[in-house]
Every structure is written in C-alpha cells, then in structure tokens.
Amino acid sequence: MTKPAFSHLFTPVRLGPLALPHRAVMAPMTRNRAGPGNVPQDLNVTYYRQRAKGALILTEATQISPQGVGYPATPGIHSAEQVAGWQRVTDAVHEEGGWIFLQLWHVGRISHPSLQPDGALPVAPSAIRPAGEAMTYEGLQPFVTPRELVTEEIPGLLAQFETAARNAHRAGFDGVEIHAANGYLLDQFLRDGTNRRTDRYGGSLMNRARLLHDVVEAVAGVWGADRVGVRLSPLNAFNDMQDSAPETTFPAVASMLGRQKLAYLHVVEVSLVGDVPPFDWPAMREAFGGLYMANGGYDGPKAEAAIAEGRADLVSFARPFLANPDLVHRLETGAALNEPDPATFYGGDAKGYTDYPTLAAS
C-alpha cells in the first residue's frame, strides 16, 4: 500500500464520539444552488455524495429561520420540505461512509427587505448599516440600515437556533456547526464595530459574547456539546466588519467556548477582503484547549506542516474540495489538483458544481 503523501494529515483523530479516518475536512461553502423554497435538491445530493470521503463534511451555511435569509437560493432548515431535502443529502453521505455536520446560520444585517418575511428590515445587534450591496433576486441592491434586536426578542432568537438544531437532528446529520464568523449575526454581536448595545448583550467583551454562549447552550441541549462546533473569523473584514482589539476579543471567546466543552473550534485565519495583520493563532488554540480546526488558504503541504507542528488538529479545505470531488484521494497520492472556476462558484447548474473530473474519470 502506498504511504500517503502527507502522513500527519492522514492520521485518524477522534472528534467527540466520531472516529475520523484522517484530518482533511470539507469547509462550508455557499453555492446558491438550493431549489424552490430553499430546499436541497437532486443536484445538492450529488454534490455532497461526491465529496463524502472528507474526514467530515461541513455543509454550506444554512439559515435557521426565514428571518435568517441573506442570499438567493441558499438552503434552510426551518421547514418540513427542507428537512426532507437534507435527509436525502445525509443519507447519500452516510451511504458512502462519510460524516456530515450542518452549519447553522443567521445573517443578521447582511440581508435585504426583499429577502425578509413581509419585507421587514433585517435585524442586527445595533442599527448600523453595512457598506456594500446585498445580493437579491432582483440583482445587487444597497444594504439598508437594520433594525436593532430588542432584549425581549433574544429568547425567540435562541428558540430559532434550538428548533433548527432539532430539525438538523431529524434530517440525519451527525452534528452541527454554529456559524459565528464572516460578519453574520453572531459575529456582529461579538465585535465592537457592530455591537453598540447597552443591555446585557453589549458593552463589555463578555456581554458581547453572551449571545454566542447562550446559542451554544441551546444547541448543545439538543445535540450534546461533543457534537457541536463553532466557527470564528477574528480578522476577517468581510461584510464591513471590524473590532478594536481582536487579539483580546477572540482568545477570550475561545476560552469561553472551551469551557463549554465543544467538539471543536473552527477558525478562519484569513480575511476575504484586505490584508491580515499579525495574530497569535497558537494562543487561540491554547485558549480553547480542545480540537482546533484551521481554515484559510491551506493546501496539502501547509496542512501537513500545521498538523505536524501542532498548530492545528484538523484543516478544512474550501476551493480544493469545490474543484476536486476526490480531493482526499489526490492528497493521499500526491496527484495534481483541478483548478476551480470562479465564474461558477455561485448559482447556476451542474457546471462548476458536480462536473469537476475525478482522477478515475480522467
């Protein structure tokens, strides 16, 4: 048997109750290919089945409620039809011997009234309009000033996360990841550039982190903490995000999550826009104290080095998995990778989604 090209990347690891065969995870990637009603369709079943050899699949971000919608043709987990659609996906992945977590998502202010129930304003920790434009069914439109969530609405928001977690369980997932990154609602609460509240969910660092803490508690109450992960992006400026002291904010958040005994912490170590200043990523891992999943610009050699040097326990790959349904086999054998086609990343049909060739097909 040929020895894997990356021997550390291809060592098994335990993630909560799951025995993962290696450490190359499929990262969550929005692809805008859900069917009518934001329901996963046949194309999505094929897409995830093709990539089931990942150590763990993290699905595309999936809205927990109609209020959480921020983009066209993104899947939800709040209707019976959506649950049934996702059940077909999880069945396909399990048939191939894979594990799959659903990423729970509320976009907060990164939405538009045309995407909201009854044309309502998007909600946010504070009424601060993001720079940029929303992607709508009518094309790009300027973001609007969101409505600040009042304190009395927070229990209802927590109930949305809990219901979505229960629906994910019904749909056959193996666990869930809470999306607290990339400028969406939970990230908006964490960072002082978007959270100007004066109640118990704003002001001090731990007050700003309180909503994430409470969401984790609600979701772990459904799944058990050892089947729940959280994604953070300390330096990502995407969606007009900033924090005055990320080097203080995010290790403290990681420490809080570590005390909640989560399955893993998933950290985006890059920014989707602009440069990334220096940051002590090992401090994040140490503060969390559990399994640390690194993301952002990793290829096989970089992932191998990160694991060999103890800087990560798992690495999630985005574009390499997008363009290489057989990425795991290619990494194992040291084969060349397909190049992704950015023109087909978002929306469309099978082109650039399920038609990338495998080594066997080539």
> Active-site residue 184, yes or no?
yes
Backbone φ and ψ for 317, nearest 5 degrees, come out as -110, 135
Calculate the CA 113 to chain-centre distance. 24
User: Alpha-carbon distance 66 to 115, whole Å?
Assistant: 8
Q: Give whole-number Cα distances, 204 to 102, 127, 194, 241, 252, in Å.
A: 31, 18, 13, 18, 12
Question: Residue 201 carries which side chain, given as an amino acid letter?
Answer: Y
Identified catalytic residue from 71, 184, 264, 356: 184
User: Alpha-carbon distance 11 to 4, whole Å?
Assistant: 10
User: Alpha-carbon distance 7 to 1, whole Å?
Assistant: 13
- Assign residue 296 a region (left: φ > 0; alpha: ψ between -120 and 50; beta: otherwise): left
> Crossing angle, helix 42-50 and helix 80-95, to 10 degrees?
30
Calculate the CA 300 to chain-centre distance. 21
User: Alpha-carbon distance 320 to 356, whole Å?
Assistant: 11
Do the Cβ atoms of 327 and 337 come closer than 8 Å? yes
Percentage helix, strand, coil, to 5, in the chain?
Answer: 35, 15, 45
- Annotated catalytic residues are 184
